[in-house]
Amino acid sequence: MSYQLVNTDAEFAEVLAALRDEPAYAVDTEFHREKTFYPKLGLVQIAWNGGLALIDPLAVDISGFAEILAGDSVAVFHACDQDLEILELTCGVVPRRLFDTQIAAGFIGMSMPSLGSLYERVLGLKVNKGDRLTDWLARPLQDAQLVYAAGDVDRLLDVYDILVTDLTERGRLDWALDECERTRVRQRGALDPDQAWRKLKEIRPLRGAPRRVAQSLAAWRQERAAEIDQPVRFIMPDLAIVGIAQRQPTTVGELRKVRGLDDRHLRSGQAEAVLAVVAEGMSHVAEAVERTESKEIDRDLRPAVALVSAWVSQLGRNLEIDPTLLGTRNDIEALLRQDPDARLSVGWRSELVGEPIARLIDGEAALAFAGQGELVIETRSRMPLT
């Protein structure tokens, strides 16, 4: 495996020139975000027919890559979500055309495989992942790091070609491309602060004043973390948000008694800021907090969720498709709630999954065992057992 380490703008310009006429190119990134709110890019790996370049973003203006990302070529990734986030942050765009090999593999019976598993399954190659946790921001990068990084994209276009052929033969290429597009356009990166509370499971049981205060605290924490570029957990742990929401302290002394808080969370005027957020949350308790929740599933339909989930899993096994690509439990609940944007009510999923579920709920079909534990949805006979 040969590669070029690119650490000048002139060399990077040559790479961009080589990519302009390529129908597809493979991309991966290495980054850190353990001690920051925003990810810090350490390396960009790009492979194309006849070339492989490792771009050092600490030495090169990576924003020029936006031209290629916005072009007609297919950008091939594996598990692209975090790569897209950091490329959007550093280049200002995400690829206009995207193919994710992890997503695509799910449509041929592989359950969201790692890159190593996919290389072994499709190409018969074992990938050395020994430097996965290395420091990508340290310079100079070591040979072992560079070899590891190059390996992530070295054969990814070969995998892409094989997957496209297999998906085409199965009549599922459009399904995979549709899912890749959903991933491409999905909002990522920093949450809307007003929605940050949804990431905290401990908040969900709260109601009334505690719920409103917790929402205000989660939004403030998100904004503060972005402002000083630190992880949200450095600002305030989840446990402390719930504790403050339940106690609703009005003094610094009361605040210090909350479990999960210590001096590092309350220094530099932060204690006073937290108390102000609590007071602001309390002043809006009368608002309809619960309207932020999705409407509940009809009580009579709740037992159907587990049964339908089991059927979707069975269907996935039968079709050799990762069941989570057919429909998750949240997708099923959204369909039963009749959410207007329910994923199972549009496209290929509607015909394959959504419509049978709708017929089941309407009483037109029945869920039955077909022997050996297999579940099927079939036309309802309406004939009682005698």
Are 96 and 168 found together in one domain? yes
Are 278 and 262 found together in one domain? yes
Given a cut of 90, whether residue 297 has pLDDT beyond it is no
Count other C-beta atoms under 10 Å from residue 80's C-beta: 26
CA dist., res. 80 & res. 184, Å (int): 9
pLDDT digits (tens, 9 = 90+) for 173-198: 999 999 999 999 998 877 789 999 98
Number of independent structural domains in the chain: 3
- Is residue 252 within 8 Å of 272, Cβ to Cβ? yes
DSSP state of 378: E
Are 28 and 126 found together in one domain? yes
Are 15 and 111 found together in one domain? yes
Given a cut of 90, whether residue 303 has pLDDT beyond it is no
* Domain end residue (candidates: 272, 292, 312): 292
Is residue 384 one of the residues assigned to a domain?
no
* Domain end residue (candidates: 292, 310, 345): 292
Token pair, residue 101, equals: 């090999």
> To which H or E segment does residue 74 belong?
strand 74-77
Nearest to 236 by CA among 202, 187, 189: 202
Are 159 and 211 found together in one domain? no
Give the list of residues 6+ apart from residue 302 with CB closer than 8 angstroms, or none.
Answer: none
Q: What angle (nearest 5°) sits at the alpha carbon of residue 348, between those of residues 343 and 350?
A: 55
Unique residue bearing structure tokens 């579940």:
375
Are 103 and 226 found together in one domain? no
CATH number, domain of 358, equals 1.10.150
Q: Which domain holds residue 366?
A: 299-379
Per-residue exposure over 345-375, b if at least 16 CB sit within 10 Å of its own CB, e if not: beeebbebbbebbbebbeeebebeeeeeeeb
Helix (H, G, I), strand (E, B) or coil at 6: strand
What's the predicted TM-score (pTM) here?
Answer: 0.89
pLDDT digits (tens, 9 = 90+) for 28-78: 999 999 999 999 999 999 999 999 999 999 999 999 999 999 999 999 999
**Helix, strand, coil percent content, the chain, rounded in steps of 5:** 55, 10, 35
Give the list of residues 6+ apart from residue 192 with CB closer than 8 angstroms, or none.
Answer: none
Nearest to 43 by CA among 145, 190, 114: 145
Is residue 327 one of the residues assigned to a domain?
yes
Is residue 61 one of the residues assigned to a domain?
yes
DSSP state of 265: H
Are 24 and 148 found together in one domain? yes
CA dist., res. 32 & res. 327, Å (int): 32
% of the chain at pLDDT higher than 70: 96
